[in-house]
């Protein structure tokens, strides 16, 4: 039983140091039983070279066979405009066009896009970003974004929605945009932006 404040403090410190050391030691004791980490180099026989056209440019990357198209774009081709929301096909934040069809890029493997023509949000504006795509401008005009995280996916999906002709009414737009979620709830203005762009097109 400590009798003074100093003794009590010293004991607490010793207890803390002992506990910290024990916790810190755990990984050392168990690391040989842990599965290989994500940073373990991929064996050569599990790598593929993917060649595809992205935003009009020929691109090539060597990737682990399990790499999604989303990770290829963001991590290997330096195109972070396409967002990762759920990484499991539920939110639409990762929407890109593959051969002019909208896809959730988190749901397809990079190797499945071999020789494909991919358009991402970075490829929509012209003149190195100086001339926005009409739908990008309409999102600004109608205040179709708040935090903006879902916006690249909404815009890419909206471009496809217009090209597909699913813009006959606001209800139809809502239905065909229902795969793109917006946590900020900007839906009304997103529909207005698509509606305006479709009319002008
Ligand atoms: S990140 Fe692909 S659907 Fe959510
Ligand atoms: S604007 Fe924030 S999630 Fe859509």
Task: State the pairing for strand pair 117-119/101-104.
Answer: unpaired
Give the C-alpha separation, 92 to 103, whole Å.
Answer: 8
Q: Is residue 147 situated within a structural domain?
A: yes
What is the secondary structure of 30-70 as a DSSP string?
HGGGSPPPTTSPPPGGGEEEEEEEETTEEEEEEEETT-BHH
User: What per-residue confidence (pLDDT) applies to 188?
Assistant: 98
Burial class of residue 128, CB neighbours in 10 A (0-12, 13-18, 19+): exposed
CATH of the domain at 60: 3.10.20.30
Same domain, 57 and 14: no
- Which ligand is closest to the CA of 183, given by its number? 2
Position 9 pLDDT exceeds 80: no
Residue 183 Cβ inside 6 Å of ligand 2? The answer reads: yes
Same domain, 165 and 130: yes
Long-range interactions of 7-15: CB distance < 8 A, separation 24+: none
Q: Which residues line ligand 1 (CB under 6 A)?
A: 84-87, 89-94, 104, 106
Q: Is residue 118 situated within a structural domain?
A: yes
Same domain, 30 and 57: no
Domain extent at residue 5: 1-35
- Which ligand is closest to the CA of 94, given by its number? 1
pLDDT band, residue 33 (cuts 50/70/90): very low
Atom of ligand 1 nearest to the CA of 87: 1
Same domain, 195 and 146: yes
Q: Is residue 41 situated within a structural domain?
A: no
Q: In the structure encoding, which two tokens stand for residue 108, read together?
A: 């397809």
CA 8 to centroid of ligand 1, rounded, Å: 54
Same domain, 51 and 119: yes
CA 155 to centroid of ligand 2, rounded, Å: 12
CATH of the domain at 157: 1.10.150.120
Atom of ligand 2 nearest to the CA of 154: 4
pLDDT single digits (tens) 169-183: 999 999 999 999 999
pTM: 0.81
Residue 181 Cβ inside 6 Å of ligand 2? The answer reads: no
Same domain, 91 and 75: yes
CA 183 to centroid of ligand 1, rounded, Å: 13
Q: Which of 123, 151, 173 is the last residue of a domain?
A: 123
Residue 148 Cβ inside 6 Å of ligand 2? The answer reads: yes
Residue 146 Cβ inside 6 Å of ligand 2? The answer reads: yes
pLDDT single digits (tens) 77-88: 999 999 999 999
Nearest to 150 by CA among 190, 199, 100: 190
Number of domains within the chain: 3
Q: Which of 98, 123, 148 is the last residue of a domain?
A: 123
Same domain, 108 and 74: yes
Q: Is residue 40 situated within a structural domain?
A: no
pLDDT single digits (tens) 111-144: 999 999 999 999 999 977 789 999 999 999 999 9
> Of all protein residues, whose CA lies closest to atom 4 belonging to ligand 2?
182
Same domain, 110 and 141: no
Q: Which of 74, 100, 123 is the last residue of a domain?
A: 123
């Amino acid at each position: 039983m400590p009798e003074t404040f100093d003794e009590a403090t010293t004991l607490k410190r010793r207890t803390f140091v002992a506990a910290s050391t024990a916790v810190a030691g755990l990984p050392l004791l168990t690391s040989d039983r842990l599965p290989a980490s994500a940073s373990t180099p991929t064996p050569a026989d599990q790598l593929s070279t993917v060649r595809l056209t992205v935003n009009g440019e020929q691109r090539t990357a060597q990737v682990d066979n399990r790499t999604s198209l989303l990770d290829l774009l963001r991590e290997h081709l330096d195109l972070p405009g396409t967002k990762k929301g759920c990484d499991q096909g539920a939110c639409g934040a990762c929407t890109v066009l593959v051969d002019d069809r909208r896809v959730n890029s988190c749901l397809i493997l990079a190797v499945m896009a071999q020789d494909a023509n991919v358009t991402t949000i970075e490829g929509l504006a012209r003149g190195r970003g100086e001339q926005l795509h009409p739908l990008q401008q309409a999102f600004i005009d109608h205040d179709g974004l708040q935090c903006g995280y879902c916006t690249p996916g909404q815009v890419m999906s909206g471009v496809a929605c217009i090209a597909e002709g699913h813009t006959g009414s606001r209800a139809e737009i809502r239905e065909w945009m229902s795969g793109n979620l917006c946590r900020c709830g900007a839906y009304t203005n997103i529909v207005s932006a698509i509606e305006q762009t479709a009319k002008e097109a």
